[in-house]
Structure 1
Amino acid sequence: MRAIPVASVALLGAAALSACVPAGAAPGGGSTFGFTLSPATVAPGGEVTLGVGRAAGGCEGRVTVSSPVFDTVTIPRHESSATARVDRDAGRGAVYEVTFACGGRTETLELTVAGGHSGHPTHHPRHPDKGVHAGEGGSVAGFDVTEIGLGALLVAGSVGAAYHLSRRRSGEDAA
């Protein structure tokens, strides 16, 4: 009779994990053919990942991706993604169309260039182009560290509660 508690823990864990995924992070990002653009907002000079959801009824051949803000990129048939670097002179706060073309089908997603200016120079005159550019300002792959921590706490708590309840019930059966 151990299968029931194990199945309960597995289902509870899967439900908790699925609840931790933000609504906008679902694969496909609203695209009919499963094309993705990540992140949807990027700073000038930043990189975007262009994805193709081939398993979800998407394209079978190579995909050509074009936009006024980066050079045209071709995603080969057996690849699911490629990267493109946004022009450094892209208009801050502007929204650009990114067009995916495959087998006579086209679809357009929007790419927003991050706006505003921090007042800090992005290019130090003494040390041009040296060192590593810092990350996303305290986030990991677009997620807030607090959200990740709370999600992990939720999963750990639900698994611990399920384990505790299954052990307590097993002890009642033996008595």
Structure 2
Amino acid sequence: MHAIRVAAAALLSVTALTFSAPVAVADDGDGDGDDHNITPFGFSVQPSTISAGGRVTLLLNKDGGCKGSATVSSGVFDTVTIRPGQSSATATVDRDAKPGAVYEVTFSCDGVSGHTELTIATGPPGDPTPVAVPAERGVRAGAGGSVGGFDLKEIGLGATLVAGSVGTAWYMSRRRAAADDS
């Protein structure tokens, strides 16, 4: 009888762990299962939204990955080289960049490359201050996460955990009552 209880508890634990474990997926969304942004070096474009004609800073964290010169290219500015010992460079965005467009910026070093996005803001040409692109929808604030439907896995996991807690409390109280009667 004891083995059945242990097996049931083990099966319940494994099932709960299976449904609650996050799934790690490394995909860039293009369907080929190949992630182009996993590089041994970090990179970013600051600011990530800029008006046409503005200047952006291209940041490269070479720790542990980029030994030589790095090149940064995009369809919206000339190719820039970040030399060894440097961690940043600047680039001027073309004045004829289309407001609202998103351009890919590619960082390449030692045969490895990764990319990020640069958004061209709406605003007067040559204005280096970023102007926010209008959002299509506002945020859903104040709903406490209740908007967006039900997730059956989360409901099932919650019900399982509650049932397990109630069952354990009942079992422990019955066990204690039986020990007190003897």
Name the TM-score, length of structure 1 as normaliser: 0.48
Greater Cα radius of gyration, structure 1 or 2: 2
